Amino acid sequence: MLDSFLVRAALAGLGVAVAAAPLGCFVVWRRMAYFGDATAHASILGVALALSFNMSVFAGVLVVALVMATTVSTLSGRGYAMDTLLGVMAHSAIAFGLVAVSFLDGVRIDLMAYLFGDILAVGRVDLAVIWGGALLVLALVGWRWQQLLLSTVSPDLAQASGIDPKREQLILTIALAVVVAVAIKVVGVLLIAALLIIPAAAARPLAHTPERMAAIAAAIGAVSALGGLQLAYRFDTPAGPTMVCVAAGLFGLSSLVSLSRV
């Protein structure tokens, strides 16, 4: 079954959608959209480092994304605004990454594949990495779900309940770094944040509980992945951007449903 590149692509898209859905909800609730975007941009530096040291691209991206996420979490509130830190580190990381790639002699790299994804080139090893990362993220978020929710709704109440909001934010940033690392092959650096945010934003008007919102976001992400893949195959368009376009269309429909209830 896995000999078909379309089957592997579909499974890869589903893996990323399932992993991104609950995290996307927290990104929307915490208004961290730029955080996910910045972490994704920094992953280009991880690609350059992985190629330089002849290591796995997944490992290189994961290391840089983790460093980026933890650095921003540590420095925020210490004299710098969060958006300022994200802007400086995201653009600096992608610039250093692009410059580092230009120094790699004898290494041919398709930057477009990393910027916009190349889901049709996903192999069996990539598929194992994507689903392994997705299951890790789901286990981590499931384990800390109530603590993450409470620290998101009210950091003061979480502190009073014996929960450290900083620790929960660190757990969330680690999970985001893992999603960025597994999604770069599917949708690329520039579209990872879209796959995180758009399904969650589309699910928000349709859900009355956090758990239902995460489930609906996963369903929307899955439909976006499979529908975008089918449209890309039929009309010969880039797969990653087409998936995001389907997600954007579903967000538009969700917004119309929300407006019709007013």
Q: Is residue 38 part of a domain?
A: yes
Q: Tell me, what's the pLDDT at 262?
A: 61
Q: Is residue 204 part of a domain?
A: no
Q: Given pLDDT bands bounded at 50, 70 and 90, which one contains residue 215?
A: very high
Q: Given pLDDT bands bounded at 50, 70 and 90, which one contains residue 110?
A: low
* Greater pLDDT, 11 or 93: 11
Q: Given pLDDT bands bounded at 50, 70 and 90, which one contains residue 134?
A: very high
Q: Is residue 77 part of a domain?
A: yes
Could you tell me the CATH number of the domain that includes residue 21?
Answer: 1.10.3470.10
Q: Is residue 164 part of a domain?
A: yes
pTM of the model: 0.88
Any residues with CB less than 8 A from the CB of 57 and at least 6 apart, and which? 46, 47, 50, 51, 184, 185
Identify the domain containing residue 186 by its residue range. 5-190
Q: Give me 143's structure tokens.
A: 């384990």
Q: Is residue 78 part of a domain?
A: yes
Q: Is residue 41 part of a domain?
A: yes
* Greater pLDDT, 149 or 70: 149
Q: Tell me, what's the pLDDT at 106?
A: 61
Q: Give me 55's structure tokens.
A: 């290591």
